[in-house]
Amino acid sequence: MTSKKLFPVVLISSLFLIIGCSVVIASDEENSLQKGNTYYKEGAYDKAIEEYKKLVDKGYVGTSLFYNLGNANYRMGKIGYAILYYEKALELSPSDEDVKHNLDFAHLSTVDRIQPLPRFFLFDWWEALLGLFSDNGWVYVVFVLYLLVILLAGAYLYSKTVKQQKIFFFSGISGVFLLAFSISLLVIKVNREVTLKSGVIVEQFVTVKFSPDPQSTDAFVIHEGLKVNLEDQFDKWIKIRLADGKVGWVEQTYVEQI
């Protein structure tokens, strides 16, 4: 009897402890965010970056957080880091106009003007389709379509006339195709983000090497803020590919992954 009476007390105490810890953690995060915003308004951009970075180091992600970090770094003249965090914000919210605008504005301060390799227009349409939503966005789309298919199936089963059955049947078939297509897009997008990685050059001036060796021959020169594909890593070196197809190696500290 005693153990049965104690169990709810222990369970409730544990629950309150978990809730209490969550509130403290949420409060600490909110504190850092508010302090960062205050410093930003006061023009203390270095201190604002420090507060925002505390959240990033704890694993906290968010469009507003990355957007604020981008703005603060831009104010400090750190174009590479500004573009890096705008890109991170855009990955979470691909349709955010403020992020897009600031990213485009930051690109005006970059040195490199890389002309991408020409592509068939259908590839551009495909990329635009994949970029309509973030990973979470496509998950929501799949979930909504799944619910819609279930509702249409239920409506078909309970419809009272042949005409209604036909409407719900063909609507359900269309919903299944859309659901399957959305799932395919989600899988492709997630797989691409796992296998294809991109980064931003954060050093003002970088000499790219032909091989991962400081004594290697210089390949070409790139500058702060340039977005590159990350293809391989060897020791403290990263293999990068530019939009125009050029390939080379840079030291790991010169590039940050998006």
pLDDT in tens, 27-82: 667 788 889 999 999 999 999 999 999 999 988 889 999 999 999 999 999 999 99
C-alpha span between 106 and 88 (Å, rounded) = 14
Tokens of 86: 């705008």
Six-digit token string for 148: 């819609």
Domains 18-107 and 197-257 share a fold: no
Half-sphere exposure of 168 (CA within 13 A, CB side): 18
Which superfamily does CATH assign the domain made up of 18-107 to? Tetratricopeptide repeat domain (1.25.40.10)
Give the predicted TM-score (pTM) of the model.
Answer: 0.71
Using alpha carbons, list the distances in angstroms from residue 144 to 169, 172, 176: 18, 13, 12
* Residue ranges covered by each domain of the chain: 18-107, 121-195, 197-257
197-257: CATH number: 2.30.30.40
DSSP state of 225: T
201-243 pLDDT per residue, tens: 999 999 999 999 999 999 999 999 999 999 999 999 999 999 9
Lowest mean pLDDT among 4-18, 30-44, 79-93: 4-18
- Across the range 131-136, mean pLDDT stands at 82
